[in-house]
Structure 1
Amino acid sequence: MLRPLSHLGLMLSLASLLFNSSWADDARRSYEVSAGTLSSALTRFASQAGVSLSVDPALVSGRRSEGLSGTYAVQEGFARLLRGSGLRLQPTGEGAYTLVPAPSGAAEIAPATISANADSSDGERYAGGQVARRGSVGLLGSRDFMETPFSVTTYTSQTVKNLQARTLNDLVASDPSVRATNPAGGRYEQFTIRGLSLFNTDVSYNGLYGVLPTYSIDMEMADRVDVIKGPTQLINGISPRGSVGGGINVVPKRAGDKPLTEFTGSYASDSQVGGAVDIARRFGEGEQFGLRFNGVKQSGDTTWDHQSVDREMAVLGLDFRGERLRLSTDIGHTERDTDAPQERVLIGALAKVPDAEDVRRNYAQAWSKARTNDTFGTLNGEYDLSDSLLAYAAAGARESNHTFLRHNVPITNDAGDFSVQPRDFTRDESVRTAMAGVRKWFNTGAVSHEVNLAASYFYMDFTNGGARYAASPSNLYDPVPTPIPVTPIRPDAKVYTENRYSGLALSDTLGLFEDRLQFTLGARWQRVKVDDWNNNAKGDTAYDEEKVSPSGGVLYKVNDQVSVYASYMEGLSQGKVAPSTSRYPDEIFPPFISRQVEVGAKLDVGSFAFTASAFRIKQPAYETNATSRVFGPNGKRENKGIELTMFGEPLQGFRVLGGLMYIDSQLHGTVGGASDGNRAPATPEYNVNLGAEWDVPGLAGLTLTTRGIHSSSQYLDQANSKKIDGWERFDVGARYAFKAGEKDITVRVGVENVLDDRYWSSAGASDDSEPGLTLSTPRTYLVSATVGF
């Protein structure tokens, strides 16, 4: 076992560089200036650039800047910060400048329009508005996608609205690297990124893990959603469930400079009706204080018979924008009640894969239900200790209570018969998490540095309990109503688990040749401590492990339009947990290490961007033995793949969003070599997404939309004895934006799965402990109208 003190000492000695370096003179280099008051933004930029700036306070009083992130010459950077301010830069000597009012009537470049309610979020929208140029990449701060040495896509709130996305599942369907592995009408959402599992618990909220609701995340709370591909342990630390294929970060909404009052009424078939409000205001001297409230209420029947969903969400965001201090807090509460939630379909050893086309009714019993209740909060702060040294900290907490009355769907024969065994299941969770760090910008000769030092801590405890009831027969194709369970036949063991993760990370991004060549080097020390009790008896699967995980990347900007990069990431992950369907449920396995190598290229032509990457990820493979039902490790898996993504507005009024992912996923070192060379289960060879929007000429405000999604066939098991066919889904829609009096109104209509195809969309999660088939959602109609007051 590695000892932490020696690693901490090494990191801290390296981190002493933070406090004894300064910037060199003018050059084209990388800058990172947070949004805030114009005065503080100009001061920080001037300090980083090593120039002198004289400012009359009266000229900048009450003015704001969106900040900047990227590579700029000095005057180019100042011009960007001053966009829309009515001010311009005037040289007063070598390396010295002052600000003066722009001449009356002089042409001025308008600031990029972010939305009708331009806010202080990090992401400047790319052409077309569907993705942001910059995303949050944890320890490394906010970065332009062209200067990030790995693959990342940041979806904007505009995309959330136009897709009429209700949950995270609806939004990430646009990403070829991400697939949902649970039914849309199920108890919880789960995903794969690059073929490896991602649980909702591993979705971060403004960089903090475990704060968001465990089972379903409402999208009305999101300003942006960052999708990061590959192991993210260096930049974000170890995730609660050990996801390694990538990470997702939800960025909360903030009040912008313009008041906002919006109401959205919505309808989804069969009879889901709802309303949402979005209110934002700034107040105080210089509008330093901000308030943003989002509330949702939606309920009614879905497209599946006897299934209904009732969801409520309320999130309040408050922030303070000072000269050097920036604070924000978010407090949220969500409730979701689902009747007759669908489960994955489990296929027994003697049963063939059922024909999805023949599954026309909801096979979940009408009495089954899922009730989830989550309350969460975060506090974030930044303080400019100097104009080149930033300190930051964040803390978060969540309390959750979940109650389920459910049953599995274990198909036993070709006729689709299965046994309904009701299970009462409760889960109570408590999360506490915190992180703190410093970020320093300086030069050593011709080399620029951005050094980051951060510490993190995560604690979660949860209690599982419940009972089993007598079983009754049913059928997948012709479901049989069974009695409402009343008297348990046996209780489940009461399981209590505590997870503690702590870490310390250090990174340095070095820039050479005017920052066209950048090296990012870093390491994170992590400790994973897990304790568990079963019916108040201490478990024998607890562990306490630690490791230092190195990571690195190199990026070269060939020119302002082309970047190439290579990176290596390594991470420690929490051990797998045996599923409820295994012989020894909730058994915890030791942590494991995942490694990824990635190379790629990015092209940005201003209105259209294209990225390409090739990657290889290695990690242990796990499975539940089909005969013994014992869950455990069985060999290793290697995912080798290629990703192609594109976004932007290549033609005026025509926008695209999508891409392709190819994966060659192979198993090695399985027991007796029985499955060596086979394809890893639940991993399609190809995922393809393509979405397009077209503004109809001559009909101002009218936009037509379409999207196609494809996944190729997937195996159900390591033996590759059973598989599901590939599938396609097509969506169409339209929106119309217009004014009625002084009100801005946007009406959106959409049809998901317009052909009403029935197919198995997933064979489970490839590295998950509980494989099973996910049935597609039938044709669904969506209608909404947003009114701005």
Structure 2
Amino acid sequence: MSAAPPFRTSPLSHLALLLALSSLPPFIPSSWADTPPPRSYEVPSGSLGPALTRFAGQAGVSLSVDPALVNGRTTAGLSGQYGVEEGFAHLLLGTGLRLVPVGEQAYTLAPVAEGAALQLAPASVIAASGSADGQAYAGGQVARLGSQGLLGSRDFMDTPFSMTTYTSAAVKNQQARTLADLTASDPAVRSTNPAGGRFEQFTIRGFSLFNSDVSYGGLYGIMPTYSIDMEMADRVDILRGPTQLINGISPRGSVGGGINIVPKRATDKPITEFTTSYVSDSQVGGALDVGRRFGEDNRFGIRFNGVKQSGDTEWDHQKVDREMAIVGLDFRDERLRLSMDVGHTERDTDAPQERVLVGDDAPVPRADDVRHNYAQAWTKARTRDTFGAIRGEYDIDDSLMVYGAVGARKSNHDFLRHNVSITNAAGDFTIQPRDFTRDEDVRTVNAGVRKWFRTGTVSHEVNLAADYFSMDFENGGGRYANRPGNLYDPVTTPEPTVRTRTDAKIYTENRFSGVALSDTLGFFEDRMLLTLGARWQRVKVDDWENGIKGETSYDEEKLSPSVGVLFKATDQLSLYANYMEGLSQGKIAPSTASNEDDIFPPFISRQLEAGAKYDMGKFAITAAAFRIKQPAYETGDAPGPGLEGTFGPSGKRVNDGIELSLFGEPVGGVRLLGGVMYIDSNLEDTNNGGANDGNRAPATPKYNVNLGAEWDVPRVQGLTLTARGIYSSSQYLDQDNTKEIDAWTRYDVGARYAFKVDEKVITLRGTVENLLNERDWISAGASDDSEPGLTLATPRTYILSATIGF
């Protein structure tokens, strides 16, 4: 018989797209779903720990186990039709352990009482379809299973990469409104744009990542370009290091890591939740989350999420109005799984903040003295994004699966903005109004086949996939007369009406294609996993300026190898190493450069990484050491006052780093989430004869530290107190290392209280972000200097919400 797949939660389970602003906390019991008929399972004999993990992953339930209980125990495996509890009972026969339900679709293990006989369960409880929070780890904030594109879904202990998957519970309990709110919990990720700005942007392991490089169920380019609402996410995967083998080339060439949004699906238990929210100064909103399954065996599912929020922020004359509506449909049977998702988002921001640029002759401004919004009241950002995807997968037999997906997005963006470029110690700058439009049209296709088999004692999981991505976009706009401004004492000016210059129409076509092949070989009953892979990639870019073909077009291709090895030293300890290469889209010159919108040729990035993961059952620690290399870029000095420098390559940057992550519930009622990252970032072979060799790369702090904690108050059932601290050390603004911003720290506190009224579950949440109202520069901009400038911390912000579950 062919070897059974280790995890069958593959590409389809990562595409539904919906939201969850709130749900029941883990300590509130719920009624069980109606029991559906048993399913077919194939779990080979061998070590008990991996067998239980495999079965739980196939069933989609949560299993929290003390590794000491299963260490050294074996199982005869199982093959055939089983209910969940019945299947667990068969796997546990003769082990001296029994299954203990601890919640809906959640279990743990305990020793069998002396003299007791272990009986097969007479009934089963099948997991909620498409959403068990990826088999949540103890504490519920992080999932065991993570989406890995080409490689399917795998348990974090079986993954030869550094990866964290945040659950919908983490999204809801942190009251995350956008992706930047959620990534504030991750030490490897930092936001590099103001929270009240036109767009969000990040760094992972010190390298820039744009929103357009955030994948949606593994498909690039179909998420909204400028801001991603977290109400649409069931889980969020953060993978550190080059991801080209897994998902192919990203639209903007991110190399430090990747972020994947996992959409939601209707669960077997009906969902009806309404959430009202308030964010200071006066943003008020509501969100609706409805999900139902119907038909024979609950085969059909529908999930709808809608959001409306509007009001003023903590910054002067700044207002944010956002709307989102998403519907997800899915079908499942024994071998076929289909899904379709369609969504639309709108975001209007008045007076969005820009990064603060620092002129060559100006010192770093004093962040503590910036007390007012320096963006003019007439500036605006209007974004409209419509997107969707269709997915399908089919099990030809128990060891062969084919899958495919198509996705699309159409976006219209309209901005009226101005740069903030400080010229002196007094904080003076010139307001240079500019209107800017951008229209985008994206299409993406993915198809693949996955095969499991054995050659002797060696297991194989072979993946073959092909991808195609196209994005057409057009930029246009114009400029207006300049006027004076000041960072510390903003000057109010009238809205511009007459253009002094009309910008050229820039039209660009991106075409990325690739074919990837990988084989994960399992040795010694899968205690050693060796992944060998390669991806052939082609990047083709053409652009036109006012209808005239540009000079920056190119057509290049490359074969990129990857290798990863993981050794399960014990059931608690995994050791791993990997080497990955990737071809990335070339950088684009920013609006602050004289060669704005120039597109540079693709570049190659390389990563070496080694790490360890220790799973104590209720608490886990992961550690990694890495080296990532890629070309460096900079915007050169301006040739004179009022002129702009030229953006282009300047040697390469090498990031050597160590990261430590922790998560789980080490003590009952106490949950921890966070970690530490250290990066030694060096520039090599820079311009002007190596003038900046040995300097630190811009916008790359040496230390990032995050630690969040939750405590369930023992004598007040349903009450949880929360706290979080975030720290980043100093960082430079430029390759010269002549301008530097100080280290910064932020503290958040909060609480939530869950209770029942007439069988309706109500959850109240409150958070104070930036409790001490610290005024700091929290980022020196993009680490590749494609978008330089300082990001100011958001003032103290109050967030309140109330969720009622019907």
Do Structure 1 and Structure 2 share a fold, with TM-score over 0.5? Answer: yes
Aligned-pair CA distance for 1:381: 0.6
Q: What aligned pairs does 1:268-417 form with structure 2 within 5 A after superposition?
A: 268-417=279-428
The 1:440–1:304 alpha-carbon spacing in structure 2 relative to 1, beyond 3 Å, is same
Contact 1:200–1:214, Cα closer than 8 Å, also in 2: yes
**Alignment correspondent of 1:23:** 2
The 1:152–1:623 alpha-carbon spacing in structure 2 relative to 1, beyond 3 Å, is same
The 1:689–1:451 alpha-carbon spacing in structure 2 relative to 1, beyond 3 Å, is same
**Alignment correspondent of 1:217:** 228
Distance in 2, matches of 1:561 and 1:476, equals: 54
The 1:175–1:91 alpha-carbon spacing in structure 2 relative to 1, beyond 3 Å, is closer
**Alignment correspondent of 1:718:** 735
Q: 1:641 and 2:657 equivalent? A: yes
Q: Deviations over 1:729-761 (max 9, x none)?
A: 000000000001110000000000000000000
**Alignment correspondent of 1:169:** 180
**Alignment correspondent of 1:61:** none
Q: 1:490 and 2:504 equivalent? A: no
Q: 1:199 and 2:210 equivalent? A: yes
Distance in 2, matches of 1:583 and 1:462, equals: 21
Distance in 2, matches of 1:40 and 1:488, equals: 68
Q: 1:422 and 2:423 equivalent? A: no
> Which stretch shows the higher mean deviation, 208-217 or 105-114?
105-114
**Alignment correspondent of 2:567:** 556
TM-score by length of 1: 0.90
Q: Of 759, 771, 777, which aligns to 1:760? A: 777
**Alignment correspondent of 2:109:** none
Q: 1:466 and 2:460 equivalent? A: no
**Alignment correspondent of 1:667:** 683
Distance in 1, matches of 2:122 and 2:696, equals: 54
**Alignment correspondent of 1:66:** 60
Aligned-pair CA distance for 1:34: 3.5
Contact 1:225–1:249, Cα closer than 8 Å, also in 2: yes
Contact 2:243–2:582, Cα closer than 8 Å, also in 1: yes
The 1:606–1:110 alpha-carbon spacing in structure 2 relative to 1, beyond 3 Å, is farther
Q: Deviations over 1:415-471 (max 9, x none)?
A: 000011110100000000010000000000010000000000000000000000001
**Alignment correspondent of 2:103:** none
Q: What aligned pairs does 1:616-765 form with structure 2 within 5 A after superposition?
A: 616-628=627-639, 629-671=645-687, 672-765=689-782
Contact 2:194–2:794, Cα closer than 8 Å, also in 1: yes
Distance in 2, matches of 1:112 and 1:412, equals: 66
Distance in 2, matches of 1:457 and 1:68, equals: 35
The 1:90–1:778 alpha-carbon spacing in structure 2 relative to 1, beyond 3 Å, is closer
Q: 1:33 and 2:30 equivalent? A: no
Distance in 2, matches of 1:78 and 1:688, equals: 46
Contact 1:264–1:786, Cα closer than 8 Å, also in 2: yes
Distance in 1, matches of 2:376 and 2:126, equals: 50
Aligned-pair CA distance for 1:286: 1.1
Distance in 1, matches of 2:517 and 2:258, equals: 20
Q: Deviations over 1:147-197 (max 9, x none)?
A: 000100000000000000000000000000000000000000000000000
The 1:82–1:589 alpha-carbon spacing in structure 2 relative to 1, beyond 3 Å, is same
Distance in 1, matches of 2:537 and 2:339, equals: 28
Contact 1:82–1:88, Cα closer than 8 Å, also in 2: no
Q: 1:182 and 2:198 equivalent? A: no
Give the counterpart letter for 1:205 in structure 2: Y
Aligned-pair CA distance for 1:767: 1.1
Distance in 1, matches of 2:76 and 2:229, equals: 42
> What SS does structure 1 have at the residue aligned with 2:302?
strand
Distance in 2, matches of 1:479 and 1:161, equals: 37
Distance in 2, matches of 1:297 and 1:229, equals: 33
Aligned-pair CA distance for 1:77: 6.3
> What SS does structure 1 have at the residue aligned with 2:701?
coil
Q: Deviations over 1:244-277 (max 9, x none)?
A: 0000000001001100100000000000000001
> Which stretch shows the higher mean deviation, 65-74 or 663-672?
65-74
Aligned-pair CA distance for 1:83: 2.9
Q: Deviations over 1:473-526 (max 9, x none)?
A: 010000001110100000011100000000000000000001001100000000
Aligned-pair CA distance for 1:132: 0.1
Distance in 2, matches of 1:552 and 1:515, equals: 17
Distance in 2, matches of 1:194 and 1:488, equals: 42
Q: Tell me the percent identity.
A: 69
Contact 2:75–2:92, Cα closer than 8 Å, also in 1: no
Contact 2:8–2:153, Cα closer than 8 Å, also in 1: no
**Alignment correspondent of 2:84:** 83
**Alignment correspondent of 2:40:** 43
Aligned-pair CA distance for 1:65: 3.5
The 1:520–1:73 alpha-carbon spacing in structure 2 relative to 1, beyond 3 Å, is farther
Contact 2:40–2:80, Cα closer than 8 Å, also in 1: no
> What SS does structure 1 have at the residue aligned with 2:234?
strand
Aligned-pair CA distance for 1:765: 1.2
**Alignment correspondent of 2:264:** 253
Contact 2:216–2:262, Cα closer than 8 Å, also in 1: yes
The 1:91–1:463 alpha-carbon spacing in structure 2 relative to 1, beyond 3 Å, is closer
Distance in 2, matches of 1:411 and 1:752, equals: 28
Distance in 2, matches of 1:111 and 1:186, equals: 50
The 1:73–1:295 alpha-carbon spacing in structure 2 relative to 1, beyond 3 Å, is farther
Distance in 1, matches of 2:562 and 2:492, equals: 54
**Alignment correspondent of 1:499:** 510
**Alignment correspondent of 2:605:** 594
Aligned-pair CA distance for 1:30: 7.0
Distance in 2, matches of 1:111 and 1:724, equals: 58
The 1:665–1:191 alpha-carbon spacing in structure 2 relative to 1, beyond 3 Å, is same
**Alignment correspondent of 2:443:** 432
Q: Which runs of 4+ in 1 moved over 2 A?
A: 33-44, 64-92, 103-114, 117-122
Contact 2:40–2:82, Cα closer than 8 Å, also in 1: no
The 1:425–1:73 alpha-carbon spacing in structure 2 relative to 1, beyond 3 Å, is farther
Distance in 2, matches of 1:109 and 1:718, equals: 68
Aligned-pair CA distance for 1:87: 8.9
Distance in 2, matches of 1:263 and 1:202, equals: 31
Superposition CA RMSD, Å: 2.6
Aligned-pair CA distance for 1:43: 3.4
Q: Deviations over 1:608-643 (max 9, x none)?
A: 000000000000000000234011000110000000
Aligned-pair CA distance for 1:647: 0.1
Distance in 2, matches of 1:40 and 1:139, equals: 31
Contact 2:75–2:91, Cα closer than 8 Å, also in 1: no
Contact 1:33–1:44, Cα closer than 8 Å, also in 2: no
Distance in 2, matches of 1:636 and 1:90, equals: 53
Give the counterpart letter for 1:596 in structure 2: Q
The 1:68–1:549 alpha-carbon spacing in structure 2 relative to 1, beyond 3 Å, is farther
The 1:42–1:485 alpha-carbon spacing in structure 2 relative to 1, beyond 3 Å, is same
Distance in 2, matches of 1:90 and 1:752, equals: 47
Give the counterpart letter for 1:750 in structure 2: T
**Alignment correspondent of 2:551:** 540
The 1:740–1:241 alpha-carbon spacing in structure 2 relative to 1, beyond 3 Å, is same
Distance in 1, matches of 2:147 and 2:175, equals: 24
